[in-house]
Amino acid sequence: MDIKSIFSRLKKLALREVEISRRRPLYLFCMLIAPVFFSFMFIDVMKEGAPHEVPAAVVDEDNSQVSRTLLRTLDAMQETDLTVKYKDFSDAKDALRRGEVFAIVHVPKGLSEKALTQRTPTIYFYTNDAYFLAGAFLFKNMKVLGELSGLAITKSTLSAKGVDEDRIMGLIQPITVESHPLNNPSLNYSIYLTNIFIPAILLLIVFIATCYSIGLEWKRGTQKKWYKDAGENVVVALTGKLLPQTALYMLMFLFMDVYLYKINGFPIACSMIRLLGIQLLATLASQAFSAAIFGILAGQMRMAMSVASLLGVLSVSLCGFTFPVMAMPKLMQAISWLLPLRHYYLIYVNQVLDGYSIVNVWKSFAILVAILALPLLFIKVYEKAFNEVNYKA
């Protein structure tokens, strides 16, 4: 085949694919409507960036000047809502169990008396860690408060002793820790989660839809016609079929990028063009990966889709943005290297979040490019499938 006939065949196949997709509401729903809908959902649900009113209960058994000052300080903190007050600790514990509050501040009886007579009283903070994020946020606040409350009393004792105000901080908290969360200084959870959730869903759809659309040819018995239109060339057949889908996915990525970085002003440390380039590579790699799965399974549509689903859903965990890959079992660490989403995540962090030199993630680029060539290993299997395999349920 010469170049010209390859192009005319690709064009023919692309038009054929557009025609097939146009008549399938299922494609429309999964590839267009769902990603747009979920983008709006993630952004709208997390529009506050950080939880600001997680309810916590207060049990103030001491009920003194000291304890009231303490609790006012905690209430003033942005992420905690100390609206619920209980007289009895067991009532508060019931509320925690019922999920009405996510934490309890327990000030036991005799706090101020013990503090004044220097008998070191203890305050107790309970957080509900069955809800990981809520628990973590409240834990942070409780820790700060615990330190503050200790400081407040020492400060007044020292003032009474006539220690210079300037020296007090140096005395009561000689070493402080200054945090600099790089490139997300406000610890905005929407930036942290949405940036990777939406591409994760999109690439999962790519995984499944690629197997689905290839398999549908066998299911409808059109695989021979498709193969013939491609001049009996597997690479031409797959390219012609999958490229129009790539265009559609890129449209979705473009929408996502404009929506996140232009409209919602998420920080982006590289150019939009470069980001789209990265997304294009990740999309192509995911399509190639999925086409290879279909090849491995010699054209069995349902099995191929099941395997693609399994690996696709697992990718969301194994890309490592919630629970780091380094803390996973060795086998899972090894599998993560094969998954396009893992490399998209690594490149995203390097380029979009941190804006470091792209050289640092050359391995991920190399792997994504290598994945592009993966279906080539299965050309023989595809040829056989085109000629001999018929759909079976």
Q: State which of positions 228-287 bind another protein (CB under 8 A).
A: none
Stretch of 204-212, 232-240, 248-256, 269-277 lying at the interface with another protein (CB under 8 A):
204-212
Instruction: Concatenate the DSSP letters of all residues of 96-120 into one string.
Output: HHHTS-SEEEEE-TTHHHHHHTT--
Comparing CB distances to another protein, the nearer of 26 and 235 is 26
Distance CA 140, CA 3 (A): 63
Considering only 90, 118, 263, 265, the residue that binds another protein (CB under 8 A) is 118
Comparing CB distances to another protein, the nearer of 10 and 74 is 74
Say which residues have a Cβ less than 8 Å from residue 126's Cβ, sequence separation at least 6: 93, 96, 103, 104, 106
Site string for another protein, 341-380 (x = CB under 8 A): -----x--xx--xx-xx--x--------------------
Stretch of 57-65, 144-152, 237-245, 253-261 lying at the interface with another protein (CB under 8 A):
144-152
Comparing CB distances to another protein, the nearer of 150 and 231 is 150
Site string for another protein, 283-322 (x = CB under 8 A): ------------------xx--xx--x--xxx-xxx-xxx
Q: At what angle do helices 65-76 and 132-160 cross, to 10 degrees?
A: 130
Stretch of 163-171, 222-230, 234-242, 258-266 lying at the interface with another protein (CB under 8 A):
163-171
Instruction: Concatenate the DSSP letters of all residues of 60-79 into one string.
Output: ESS-SHHHHHHHHHHHHSTT
Site residues (CB under 8 A) for another protein, limited to 32-61: 34, 38, 41-42, 44-48, 51-55
Distance CA 301, CA 291 (A): 11
| Position 226 contacts another protein (CB under 8 A) | no
Distance CA 33, CA 14 (A): 22
**Shortest distance, position 12 Cβ to another protein, whole Å:** 26
| Position 169 contacts another protein (CB under 8 A) | yes
H or E, element range at 83: strand 80-86
DSSP type of residue 360: G
Considering only 1, 15, 33, 171, the residue that binds another protein (CB under 8 A) is 171
Site residues (CB under 8 A) for another protein, limited to 92-111: 94, 96-99, 102, 111
Considering only 58, 142, 214, 242, the residue that binds another protein (CB under 8 A) is 142
Q: 85 — phi, psi (to 5°)?
A: -115, 135
- Other Cβ atoms less than 10 A from the Cβ of 353: the count is 20
- Contact yes or no for 263/179 (Cβ under 8 A): no
Both ends of the chain: CA-CA distance in Å? 35
